[in-house]
Amino acid sequence: MTDAFVLGGVRTPVGRYGGSLSHIRTDELLGQTMVAACERVGVPLEKIEDIAAGCVNVAHEGMGDIARWGALAAGFPDSVPAVTINRFCASSLTAAISIGHAIQCDELGVGLAGGVESMSRSGWAQMKGDAPFSPRGPVLLLDTMWAGAGGPPNANLLARDAYIDMIRTAQNVADKYGLTRQEIDAFALRSQQHAVAARDSGRLAQEIHPVEIPGTRKEPAHLFEHDEFIRDGTTAEQLAALPPQPNTTQMTAGNSSGLSDGASAVVLASGAEAKALRIEPLARLVSSATYALDPQFMGIAPAWAIATALQRAKLSPEDVDVWEVHEAFAAQALGVLKELPNQLNGFTVPDDRLNPNGGAVAIGHPFGSSGTRYVLTLSTELSLREKRYGVLGVCVGSGQGVALVLENPNAR
């Protein structure tokens, strides 16, 4: 097998729902980010042999295969193929693993993985009757941000409550592991504090590609450069004062990831192609794994996926220098951290190795984009710290989890 390497990439700043990125077409947001990733790394667009991009909701300008349309709109040659992948929150992580596997099997030399989500621009869908052209009576409109692709739910899945709201699964995880509101809020505060420090030090700017925002009658054109969700001066008292969300007792707007927009992309290549392009790789893909469990406990599957990926890499958890655990909710991330010792022979993730730049609770979580954002963040962090191994785990709506182990090929 051939080694697959992350050469580098970029991400947009994460925008709030209805915020700075809400007026940019989703296909254009993805397309310009993929072009920016190639430019940042120094790879000509025509060198890309295949693209895989994640997007959860393409019921907008995605027109089905948003990876292909975004690439064409942004100026990739017609000869560059592209596919859109949907594994909910791990869509673009799955895309990166897919491109990596193709490289390892000698089916690709240079590929690109990316992802995008614009919750602001998620469309509306009309439900059809069961029979073609059947009279429908009243037409029901569904907001596809909450109703997936907009189709009618499956009665069998409804019966087992498989379509459970994600925030309710976070409450289930909190109840399962006996998490208190105080420790959930404390983890959310940690995320904000680390993200503020990373932004202010310029660490986040190293992976961000600023987005040009066109002017309006009220505001001049400007560069959008920083994540909009990061809150300066967040305190434990402020978080404790927030009311629980409906159908929960501990989940609040402060300890959950916010509705957001954004895109990210990374370029991957074989060692031979990286050498031919004279590009020093950031990271090597070592191993990956997936896992799934009851949708009622969405969020904790990464604990099993991480353990399996480390086993496949023949690494002990003590070998891992940086851990990126997705924060869909503070309670969900804490659930993963509580479960990991059960899967790793009692090993507890050291705080100074965990999500060093904050996580989705502070930065935001554009569903289709987060996976490749983590690949870029972890690759960059290993390089800056001159550390060797890192692992990332992303939870997935419906009860799945995906993990990836990366190695810094330049570590001493």
CA distance 107 to 412: 31
CA distance 217 to 341: 55
Which tokens in the block code for residue 279?
């590009």
Closest CA to 338 of 283, 382, 299: 299
Q: What residues contact residue 158 under an 8 Å CB cut-off, 6+ apart?
A: none
Q: Note if 55 is an active site residue.
A: no
The residues facing 271 across adjacent strands are none
Residue 174: φ, ψ to 5°:
-60, -40
Q: Note if 38 is an active site residue.
A: no
Q: Note if 105 is an active site residue.
A: no
Contact criterion met (CB below 8 Å) for 26 and 56 = no
Q: Is 314 left (phi over 0), alpha (psi -120 to 50) or beta?
A: left
CA distance 395 to 202: 28
CA distance 387 to 410: 9
Identify the burial level of 131 via C-beta atoms within 10 angstroms of its C-beta, where 0-12 means exposed, 13-18 middle and 19 or more buried. exposed
CA distance 378 to 8: 11
Q: What residues contact residue 276 under an 8 Å CB cut-off, 6+ apart?
A: none
Instruction: Identify the active-site residue in 60, 89, 209, 326.
Output: 89
Q: How many CA atoms lie within 13 A of 186 on its CB side?
A: 7
Which tokens in the block code for residue 129?
């009757």
| Sign of the CA dihedral with 82 first, then 84, 85, and 89 last | positive
CA distance 171 to 158: 19
Q: Is 284 left (phi over 0), alpha (psi -120 to 50) or beta?
A: beta
CA distance 174 to 8: 36
**Which residues have a catalytic role annotated?**
89, 365, 395
